């Protein structure tokens, strides 16, 4: 599979504008610490790194997440910064070795911008790594959960994952997860309207996903291990169902828990075909199931016109489980967020990095209220209440260009 098949066509790096992020960057006093960034290297991220470099923030190295990074953007960024492209299993060790080397070269501790808690894993393996780290700015829930498990953290970790501002992004991600899963279903030749479809995990992304699936005339069944979330789903008008009831009623199951949620025990007695799509980071949602099924699985590709969906199929005694994109996030086949919302996320990430660079308080905390309100005001005055309309009317600017 080529990189393009894995991640979809890229939008052009030069055409992503991040005016609010740029505004934050222009207000930063002298930056001293070297910076290592772990990211999905896509056109939007490439633009973010460019904004940081132009503001004299010392980004030395970018570690590209393998399942989502784009060759053209990696190549373009490598003109300005050192790019590392390890495999998924080597991410933590590679990033950790690089931080040590950077800190030694520069004589200063390193600010890390992490996505998914790769450094939390490295620090658990080797706590002495902490001596090379000034602090960490973390973007995702997956990362937040991993940093929560770190004991005795001696530097600041500022996360934006559960900020009120970041929750706005989940509405778009959930919708993208739903649309990508339904599109894959349509490609296979199955109905994606008027069906019974399950969403597992009724958090920020699962709830947005469920609303979108329902919005195109499907009946949505919800399972969440947290009873309060199950009540919330019922109050929002969804069917709440046990795993047994889900498997008895639904052929498409979309996992949005960020945990190893759907396991082989769900399918003990089934026949026929089931399709599983993940909205969570990495390949975590169906990992337990995929590990269990390793000896009886095979990979194939659904091909319809220009669309290619890689699938891992697990054969049961009577049934078959089709894990779309091998359990990687289903929405990563194309862009999920409009650029004005990407601008909102990167502005938060940059404020988190500044709070790490300038702050002294050690341990894990969320982005400050002042930081969030400052970004919200800047976003409203830049993109405005009609920001979406003006961005979308300017669509041609962002269009994919023929190469």
> If binding means CB under 6 A, how many residues of this protein chain bind ligand NAD?
29
Instruction: Give me the least distance between CB of 159 and ligand NAD, in Å please.
Output: 11
CA distance 7 to 227: 36
Please, where are the H alpha helices in 189-328? 204-215, 227-235, 243-249, 287-292
CA distance 119 to 153: 12
Spell out, one character per residue from 132 to 151, where the chain touches ligand NAD: x when CB under 6 A holds, - when not: --------xxx---------
- CB nearer to ligand NAD: pick between 132 and 281: 281
CA 175 to chain centroid, in Å, comes to: 14
CA distance 145 to 149: 7
- CB nearer to ligand NAD: pick between 25 and 241: 241
- CB nearer to ligand NAD: pick between 59 and 208: 208
Q: Is 223 among the residues that bind ligand NAD (CB under 6 A)?
A: yes
The answer to whether residues 10 and 73 touch, using CB atoms and an 8 Å cutoff, is yes
The answer to whether residues 378 and 346 touch, using CB atoms and an 8 Å cutoff, is no
Instruction: Give me the least distance between CB of 216 and ligand NAD, in Å please.
Output: 19
CA distance 336 to 342: 10
Burial code (b: 16+ CB inside 10 Å, e: under 16) for 130-168 equals bebbbbbbbbbbbbbbbbeebeebebbbbbbbebebbee
Residues 6+ apart with CB under 8 A from 117: 138, 140, 142, 143, 144, 145, 146, 147
Q: Is 173 among the residues that bind ligand NAD (CB under 6 A)?
A: yes
Q: Is 117 among the residues that bind ligand NAD (CB under 6 A)?
A: no
The answer to whether residues 270 and 253 touch, using CB atoms and an 8 Å cutoff, is no
Q: Is 202 among the residues that bind ligand NAD (CB under 6 A)?
A: yes
Q: Is 45 among the residues that bind ligand NAD (CB under 6 A)?
A: no
Spell out, one character per residue from 276 to 305, where the chain touches ligand NAD: x when CB under 6 A holds, - when not: ---xxx------------------------
Window of 41-49, 185-193, 217-225, 354-362 that interacts with ligand NAD by CB under 6 A: 217-225
Instruction: Give me the least distance between CB of 40 and ligand NAD, in Å please.
Output: 9
CA 102, 106, 108, 114 dihedral sign is negative
Q: Is 178 among the residues that bind ligand NAD (CB under 6 A)?
A: no
Instruction: Give me the least distance between CB of 54 and ligand NAD, in Å please.
Output: 27
Window of 52-60, 190-198, 255-263, 314-322 that interacts with ligand NAD by CB under 6 A: 255-263
Question: In 65-155, which ranges are E strands?
Answer: 82-84, 110-114, 133-138
Of the residues 62, 256, 341, 352, which one makes contact with ligand NAD according to CB under 6 A: 256
Q: Is residue 351 helix, strand or coil?
A: helix
Q: Is 21 among the residues that bind ligand NAD (CB under 6 A)?
A: no
Residues in touch with ligand NAD (CB under 6 A): 140-142, 170, 173, 177, 200-206, 223-226, 229, 256-259, 261, 279-281, 329, 331, 336
């Amino acid at each position: 599979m080529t990189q393009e098949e894995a991640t979809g066509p890229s939008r052009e790096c030069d055409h992503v504008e991040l005016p609010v992020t740029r505004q934050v960057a222009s207000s930063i006093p002298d930056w001293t610490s070297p910076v290592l960034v772990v990211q999905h290297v896509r056109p939007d991220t490439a633009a973010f790194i460019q904004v940081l470099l132009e503001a004299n923030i010392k980004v030395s190295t970018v570690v590209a997440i393998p399942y989502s990074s784009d060759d053209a953007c990696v190549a373009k960024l490598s003109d300005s910064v050192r790019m590392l492209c390890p495999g998924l299993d080597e991410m933590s060790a590679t990033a950790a070795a690089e931080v040590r080397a950077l800190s030694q070269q520069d004589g200063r501790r390193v600010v890390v911008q992490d996505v998914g808690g790769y450094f939390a894993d490295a620090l658990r393996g080797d706590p002495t790594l902490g001596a090379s780290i000034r602090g960490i700015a973390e973007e995702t829930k997956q990362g937040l959960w991993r940093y929560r498990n770190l004991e005795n953290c001696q530097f600041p970790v500022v996360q934006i994952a559960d900020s009120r501002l970041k929750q706005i992004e989940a509405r778009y991600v959930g919708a993208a997860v739903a649309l990508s899963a339904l599109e894959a279903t349509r490609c296979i030749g199955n109905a994606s309207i008027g069906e019974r479809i399950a969403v597992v995990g009724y958090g920020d992304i699962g709830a947005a996903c469920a609303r979108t699936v329902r919005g195109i005339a499907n009946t949505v069944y919800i399972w969440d291990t947290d009873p309060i979330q199950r009540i919330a789903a019922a109050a929002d008008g969804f069917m709440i169902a046990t795993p047994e009831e889900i498997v008895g009623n639904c052929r498409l199951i979309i996992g949005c828990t960020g945990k190893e949620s759907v396991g082989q025990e769900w399918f003990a007695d089934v026949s026929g075909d089931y399709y599983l799509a993940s909205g969570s980071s990495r390949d975590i949602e169906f990992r337990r199931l995929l590990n269990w099924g390793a000896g009886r699985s095979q990979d194939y590709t659904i091909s319809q016109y220009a669309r290619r969906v890689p699938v891992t199929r697990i054969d049961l005694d009577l049934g078959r489980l089709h894990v779309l994109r091998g359990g990687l996030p289903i929405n990563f086949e194309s862009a999920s967020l409009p650029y004005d919302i990407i601008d909102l996320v990167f502005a938060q990430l940059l404020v988190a990095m500044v709070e790490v660079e300038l702050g002294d308080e050690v341990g894990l905390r969320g982005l400050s209220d002042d930081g969030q309100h400052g970004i919200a005001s800047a976003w409203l005055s830049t993109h405005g209440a009609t920001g979406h309309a003006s961005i979308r009317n300017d669509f041609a600017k962002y269009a994919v260009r023929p190469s």
